[in-house]
Amino acid sequence: MDIRVTSPEIQDQMNKLFSSILLEQQKYMQVRKPDADKAHLVESALKEYTANRGKGFFYNYMSSGRGHGPFTEQIDGSIKYDLIGGIGPNILGHSHPLYIKAHLESACSDTVMCGNLQPYPEAAAITEMLMKNVSNSRLKHFWFTGSGSFANDLALKLIWQKKEPKYRLIACTKAFAGRSVATQDITHNEAYRQGMPQSVQVDHVPHFDQTDPENALEKTITALKEVVKANPNQHCALMMEIIQGEGGFIYGPKEYYEGVFNWAKENDLYIWIDEVQTFGRTRELFAFQNMGLDQYVDVVTVGKALQVCGALFTEELNPKPGLIAGTFNGSLTALNAGEKIIRYLTEGNFYGENGRIAELEHTFLSKLNHLSKNSCKGKINYSGGIGTMIAFEVGDASKDITIEFIKKLFENGIIAFMAGNQPTRVRLLLPLSLTDEHINEIFKIIEQTVLEVVK
Ligand SMILES: Cc1ncc(COP(=O)(O)O)c(C=O)c1O
């Protein structure tokens, strides 16, 4: 264990503790209903929490902090498959040895948070790992932020400073960029900014049209031309999620992005890619690498699975002093875990056409396809996605039936979430700790739930 204190006694205790925690957490490895005497605990804990924060929760879910692999336990003793991982952060699942190690190593440190004025080797190491893994691109720097939304705010500031006074932005319909004052305008869904004054001028153009792939590029380019014509010489950048998460994992082929990005470059726009949700989850560490778009990207934002957030950017976009700062880079545990995650993913057998991520994608999509052609014919009418980001539609893909489905799925032992509107999709962000045995059980639960809900 790579701990700060030098005492062999502490080293020895830490090693023992590591093994004991691993063994203890392995007790949580199968779907289980709540314990009868604890069944009320989640509801009462959430009632108080809801009263204090002023808003309720989507699921009756309160983690006990115990779980293993894809399994998570609640304070009522119930255990479920976690196929959404807090909408992204838990890419390795629960109680992964690497997470436990990061916690224990950091437990021997002198503070909790690492920041800009007092850096620690953990921050330098994760930055170095990130830069090492984008060496085929023009990205040269990485700056930490406190959230994915703030990583996007930072990206926007870098671009604005360079392009002053061209402050207008182009983003995509169905985009989700976060909840900050700036990113709520980039996010396409108007319901997320009710009553807000507009702070960023954003023109939304269609992303890849899955229903009309042949004409998708032309549709996007036509829309791009229209918005530029309507506001000539005012745009600074094109902001895109290559795989739209909240949209229901919508993406196009490499040629589509090349066409769009070539047009953007010809029109003097920076290319800003939001990988807050996609980082780590395709056949490469970054989705832009998966699509072979290394040469195009000017700014890339990351978060979630990395455990810390921030923006990678080119030398050209390195800002003037004073523009960017912030107290926190992240906790020492998060920074340590993030660096370990990059190492684990890139040095393990996860990426490439024959990696575990491609295998998970293939297995999930072929099993969904099988259900849609057999027992769930007419009840699962779409399945798609890429890497560990899988989506499918149930029934008429309305929001109501999708919510009913995922709530029933939760009751039956799987935590998933939804994405998109018209159609609304069931969204899974798979943990890498899934085995084939888990997947077989997961599909039995999905099939049973579809048959229960979709008549
Ligand atoms: C694509 C994308 N960008 C940005 C964000 C915002 O990240 P955060 O919630 O950490 O602020 C999210 C969060 O879901 C996201 O999916």
- In this structure, the residues whose C-beta lies within 6 A of any atom of ligand 1 are 87, 147-149, 152, 176-178, 241, 245, 274, 276-277, 303, 309
319 and 391 part of one domain: no
Cβ atoms within 10 A of the Cβ of 146, count?
16
Protein residue with its CA nearest to atom 5 in ligand 1 = 178
In a domain, 8, yes or no: no
Protein residue with its CA nearest to atom 13 in ligand 1 = 178
Query: Ligand 1: distance of its center to the CA of 177 in Å?
Result: 6
DSSP percent split of the chain into helix, strand, coil, nearest 5: 40, 20, 40
Which of 347, 368, 390 is the last residue before a domain boundary? Answer: 347
Question: At 63, which helix (H) or strand (E)?
Answer: strand 63-68
SS (H, E, C) 182-242: CHHHHCCCHHHHCCCCCCCCEEEECCCCCCCHHHHHHHHHHHHHHHHHHCCCCEEEEEECC
Q: Are 276 and 151 spatial neighbours (Cβ–Cβ below 8 Å)?
A: yes
User: Which atom in ligand 1 lies closest to the alpha carbon of residue 87?
Assistant: 14
Best probe residue, ligand 1, of 187, 189, 240, 276 (max atoms within 8 Å of C-beta): 276
Percent of the chain at pLDDT exceeding 90? 96
User: What CATH number has the domain bearing residue 358?
Assistant: 3.90.1150.10
In a domain, 139, yes or no: yes
Helix spans in 70-118 (H): 97-107
Query: What pLDDT does 2 receive?
Result: 82
210 and 190 part of one domain: yes
Query: Ligand 1: distance of its center to the CA of 284 in Å?
Result: 20
Residue 385 and residue 425: Cα distance in Å, rounded?
11
- Give 92's pLDDT tier (boundaries 50, 70, 90): very high
pLDDT tens-digit map of 283-313? 999 999 999 999 999 999 999 999 999 999 9
Whether 35 shows a pLDDT value over 80: the answer reads yes
Q: Which residues contact 352 (CB under 8 A, 6 or more apart)?
A: 283, 358
Residue 46 and residue 60: Cα distance in Å, rounded?
7
Whether 5 shows a pLDDT value over 90: the answer reads no
Query: Ligand 1: distance of its center to the CA of 424 in Å?
Result: 19
In a domain, 7, yes or no: no
Best probe residue, ligand 1, of 90, 149, 239 (max atoms within 8 Å of C-beta): 149
pLDDT tens-digit map of 95-136? 999 999 999 999 999 999 999 899 999 999 999 999 999 999
User: Which atom in ligand 1 lies closest to the alpha carbon of residue 303?
Assistant: 10
Between the CA of residue 96 and those of 67, 105, 313, 341, 430, what are the distances in Å?
9, 14, 31, 10, 14
Query: Ligand 1: distance of its center to the CA of 179 in Å?
Result: 8
In a domain, 11, yes or no: no
Strand order in the sheet with 425-429: 380-386, 389-394, 425-429, 417-419
Between the CA of residue 309 and those of 296, 300, 326, what are the distances in Å?
22, 11, 12
User: What CATH number has the domain bearing residue 117?
Assistant: 3.40.640.10
Cβ atoms within 10 A of the Cβ of 350, count?
23
pLDDT tens-digit map of 357-382? 999 999 999 999 999 999 999 999 99
User: Which atom in ligand 1 lies closest to the alpha carbon of residue 175?
Assistant: 1
Amino acid at 383: S
Q: Count each helix (H run) and each strand (E run) in the chain, helices first.
A: 13, 17
Query: What pLDDT does 160 receive?
Result: 98
Between the CA of residue 38 and those of 2, 63, 66, 358, 407, what are the distances in Å?
39, 13, 15, 40, 20
Query: Ligand 1: distance of its center to the CA of 266 in Å?
Result: 29
254 and 223 part of one domain: yes
Whether 422 shows a pLDDT value over 90: the answer reads no
User: Which atom in ligand 1 lies closest to the alpha carbon of residue 304?
Assistant: 10
Which of 293, 324, 347 is the last residue before a domain boundary? Answer: 347
First vs last Cα of the chain: how many Å apart? 54
Whether 78 shows a pLDDT value over 90: the answer reads yes
Beta strands in 333-446 (DSSP E): 380-386, 389-394, 414-415, 417-419, 425-429
Query: What pLDDT does 242 receive?
Result: 96
**Most distant CA pair in the chain: distance in Å?**
70
Between the CA of residue 76 and those of 33, 64, 356, what are the distances in Å?
9, 8, 33
User: Which atom in ligand 1 lies closest to the alpha carbon of residue 309?
Assistant: 10
pLDDT tens-digit map of 51-76? 999 999 999 999 999 999 999 999 99
Best probe residue, ligand 1, of 176, 273, 427 (max atoms within 8 Å of C-beta): 176
In a domain, 335, yes or no: yes
Residue 422 and residue 418: Cα distance in Å, rounded?
12
Residue 389 and residue 261: Cα distance in Å, rounded?
24
427 and 287 part of one domain: no
Whether 173 shows a pLDDT value over 90: the answer reads yes
Protein residue with its CA nearest to atom 3 in ligand 1 = 177
Q: Are 330 and 308 spatial neighbours (Cβ–Cβ below 8 Å)?
A: yes
Protein residue with its CA nearest to atom 8 in ligand 1 = 148
Whether 4 shows a pLDDT value over 90: the answer reads no
Protein residue with its CA nearest to atom 16 in ligand 1 = 277
268 and 137 part of one domain: yes
Query: What pLDDT does 213 receive?
Result: 97
281 and 314 part of one domain: yes
Strand order in the sheet with 71-74: 63-68, 71-74, 79-82, 414-415
In a domain, 268, yes or no: yes
Query: Ligand 1: distance of its center to the CA of 225 in Å?
Result: 28
User: Which atom in ligand 1 lies closest to the alpha carbon of residue 149?
Assistant: 11
Protein residue with its CA nearest to atom 10 in ligand 1 = 148
Q: Are 156 and 170 spatial neighbours (Cβ–Cβ below 8 Å)?
A: no
Query: Ligand 1: distance of its center to the CA of 189 in Å?
Result: 14
Query: Ligand 1: distance of its center to the CA of 432 in Å?
Result: 20
112 and 91 part of one domain: no
Query: Ligand 1: distance of its center to the CA of 141 in Å?
Result: 21
Whether 1 shows a pLDDT value over 80: the answer reads no
pLDDT tens-digit map of 134-170? 999 999 999 999 999 999 999 999 999 999 999 999 9
| Summary mean pLDDT of the chain | 97
Best probe residue, ligand 1, of 277, 286, 288, 299 (max atoms within 8 Å of C-beta): 277
Question: At 448, which helix (H) or strand (E)?
Answer: helix 436-453
Structural domain span for residue 304? 107-347
Give just the sign of the alpha carbon dihedral 139, 142, 148, 153.
negative
Query: Which tokens belong to 119?
Result: 């850096």
156 and 302 part of one domain: yes
214 and 297 part of one domain: yes
In a domain, 312, yes or no: yes
Which of 314, 347, 380 is the last residue before a domain boundary? Answer: 347
Query: Ligand 1: distance of its center to the CA of 85 in Å?
Result: 14
pLDDT tens-digit map of 179-223? 999 999 999 999 999 999 999 999 999 999 999 999 999 999 999
147 and 28 part of one domain: no
DSSP state of 37: G
Q: How many domains does the chain have?
A: 2
333 and 359 part of one domain: no
In a domain, 102, yes or no: no
Residue 152 and residue 171: Cα distance in Å, rounded?
12
Residue 69, SS3 per DSSP: strand
Query: Ligand 1: distance of its center to the CA of 339 in Å?
Result: 20
- Please count the CA atoms within 13 angstroms of the CA of 64 that sit on its side-chain side: 18
283 and 405 part of one domain: no
CB-count exposure of residue 135 (10 Å: 0-12, 13-18, 19+): exposed
Query: Ligand 1: distance of its center to the CA of 199 in Å?
Result: 19
Query: Ligand 1: distance of its center to the CA of 391 in Å?
Result: 18
Residue 10 and residue 3: Cα distance in Å, rounded?
9
